[in-house]
Structure 1
């Protein structure tokens, strides 16, 4: 029976329970080749983030926003005016105007939706909850031979971030970041 339910108090199907068992067997570690951890950006109270056209990281918090170089982690711009930052958010928190360039970008995060979940090479990011309420991020390549969900997935070790997590690729697909209230972990191709 495909949708059998052995325990009436547990509404999950056998398939869903099997996926949970698989997810709980994943051990956090380094991303698969060709990806590597590029930098960790510490920023308290982050609620959203995104990428500008130059590949810089934009982080938004209740106390303002910052623009950081994605390769070095060096902060380039810091706007401490919370009201001005709030006015730069539009479209229900999904768009933001970057302070120093005036460029409007897409953002994702706690209130800003999800990031770009897959790149052109078939790499896919997903936030899962095998140990609810703890969030984990998995990465897998859906273009790999004989792809099966979670079979080749890697659970990412995310340094210095906990609580809520969101993940998304840059528009170019050459980098991705994991956001949390404590900042962002940025990964790039080797």
Structure 2
């Protein structure tokens, strides 16, 4: 049995429309970057630029993307890099982070940061399970403090794919949502 408060929260989540993430966040790519058979994702840091990199692990290998542009930097088609094969949920780095193990979150466990500097948080809710909704909260924001778009934004509704992971990079400059079919990325300037 759910409480009256829980029922009210459920109704708020169900009524919240999907909206773009607010400033200072910007979408890296229009829509989802397709990655068929996605198993998990992780973050690394480019050793020369200091920018966030996204490691994407799929059933056909793993690849490294720029979190700033979404472009593919490196790819290894070896399917033996499945994070399930590693008890620490890591994959070997590629390209500029070759030799650096990258922690992976997704189908086989693990997790990403749910908070970032400046008071930003992200939460996955399931008011109509099995469909996941990803909610971005601004500093001090809560869904019950007013209409969506005030201090919270429903940024992704996973209707047709299974959610694998959602969260921030360790730097807090990148937000990613990974589903079984691809990733959606947002970035913000380092000074925010």
Which TM-score band (shorter chain)?
Answer: 0.7 to 0.9
d(CA) in 2 for partners of 1:155 and 1:42? 21
In 2, are the aligned partners of 1:36 and 1:187 still within 8 Å (CA)? yes
In 1, are the aligned partners of 2:58 and 2:82 still within 8 Å (CA)? no
TM-score of the superposed pair, with normalisation by structure 1: 0.82
State the match for 1:183 in structure 2. 182
d(CA) in 2 for partners of 1:166 and 1:52? 16
Runs of 5+ unmatched residues, structure 2: 47-51, 146-150
> Equivalent residues in 2 for 1:4-43 (5 A)?
11-39=1-29, 40-43=32-35
CA drift at 1:178: 0.5
d(CA) in 2 for partners of 1:86 and 1:116? 21
CA drift at 1:42: 1.4
CA drift at 1:150: 4.3
TM-score of the superposed pair, with normalisation by structure 2: 0.81
1:69 counterpart = 2:61: no
In 2, are the aligned partners of 1:92 and 1:112 still within 8 Å (CA)? no
RMSD: 2.3
d(CA) in 2 for partners of 1:187 and 1:61? 21
- Relative to structure 1, the CA distance from residue 149 to residue 159 in structure 2 (aligned partners, 3 Å threshold; closer, same or farther) is closer
State the match for 2:86 in structure 1. 90
1:53-111 superposed Cα distances (whole Å, 9 cap, x missing partner): 2211110012111111222222121111112x137953352x22213411122221122
> SS state of the match for residue 91, structure 1?
coil
In 1, are the aligned partners of 2:126 and 2:132 still within 8 Å (CA)? yes
Runs of 5+ unmatched residues, structure 1: 1-10
> SS state of the match for residue 186, structure 1?
strand
1:112 counterpart = 2:109: yes
**Which of the two has higher C-alpha Rg?**
1
d(CA) in 2 for partners of 1:150 and 1:34? 23
State the match for 1:5 in structure 2. none
In 1, are the aligned partners of 2:83 and 2:104 still within 8 Å (CA)? no
In 2, are the aligned partners of 1:127 and 1:165 still within 8 Å (CA)? no
